[in-house]
Copies of this chain bind each other. A is one copy, B any other.
Amino acid sequence: MTASRDATGRSLEDYPRPSLAVDTAVLTIKDRALCVLLVRAVDVDDATAWRLPGTFLHPGETLADAVTRSLRDKAGVTGLHPEQLHVFDDPSRDDRGWVLSVAHLEVVRADRIPATAENRLVSASEVPDLPFDHRDIIDFAVEALRRRYESTPDPSDLVDPAEPDGSFTLRELRQTHEAVAGRPLPPDTFRRTMQGSLVDTGRLSLGRRGKPATLFRRLPG
């Protein structure tokens, strides 16, 4: 450990520091629409009550750990794969003081989000007014998720598992991707794009109507 002095002779402790927060856009699919999770803030009770789940970074903690902790404590969601998106750093973004926020993206199936009075799912395309820059964070997260879903079959495991073993039909997979993309996708092109990353299980879905569909699984690799 060398002397921690800089060019002006000041030590690390002399610098004013910002508060560092994480805010997470938890995206999911509900009723075939891409939705984002809002939580009710505990310290206010007005129009700004709903916001993205977030927290301040604790000592010794990584950003991913802080995201996981905040989702568990504030929304009852056990988030598994937080992805760092961007630091929002406008000095006046939070009127409580100098707070920077590292925005994250988390993706879970809707059935893993507890339906409490403190949790609220809203359509990602019709986000209400939110405090801070939480709307910008949501837009950032939606774009990141759409890129992630462009050429890989359901990388974040959003498909509702109709089959107990987790296999799915191409129709179910496509409807999931359409919800993420926010637009219809041509079925034949979608099939050809995705089929290379899927394994034919040889089994068929118990069709409700029409021809039974082949059940696929993701490629192990």
Contact = CB atoms under 8 A, between A and B. Distances in A.
Q: Is the interface of A mostly helix, strand, loop or mixed?
A: loop
Contacts of A87: 63, 84, 87, 102
Nearest to A102: B87
A60 B63 CA distance: 23
A59 B89 CA distance: 11
Nearest to A8: B42
A126 interface: no
A5 interface: yes
Contacts of A62: 89-91
Interface string A58-84: 111111000000000000000000001
A123 B190 CA distance: 42
Contact of A5 (B6, B43, B90): B43
Tell me how many chains of this kind the complex includes.
Answer: 2
Interface string A1-43: 1111111000011011111100000000000000000000011
Contacts of A98: 59-60
Given A16-B58, A18-B59, 19 more contacts: A1-B95, A2-B43, A2-B44, A3-B43, A4-B43, A5-B43, A6-B43, A12-B19, A12-B97, A18-B20, A20-B20, A20-B100, A59-B98, A62-B90, A62-B91, A63-B89, A63-B100, A87-B87, A87-B102
20 contacts: A2-B43, A2-B96, A4-B97, A7-B42, A12-B99, A15-B19, A15-B56, A17-B17, A17-B18, A17-B19, A18-B57, A18-B59, A20-B20, A59-B91, A60-B91, A60-B98, A61-B91, A62-B91, A63-B100, A87-B102
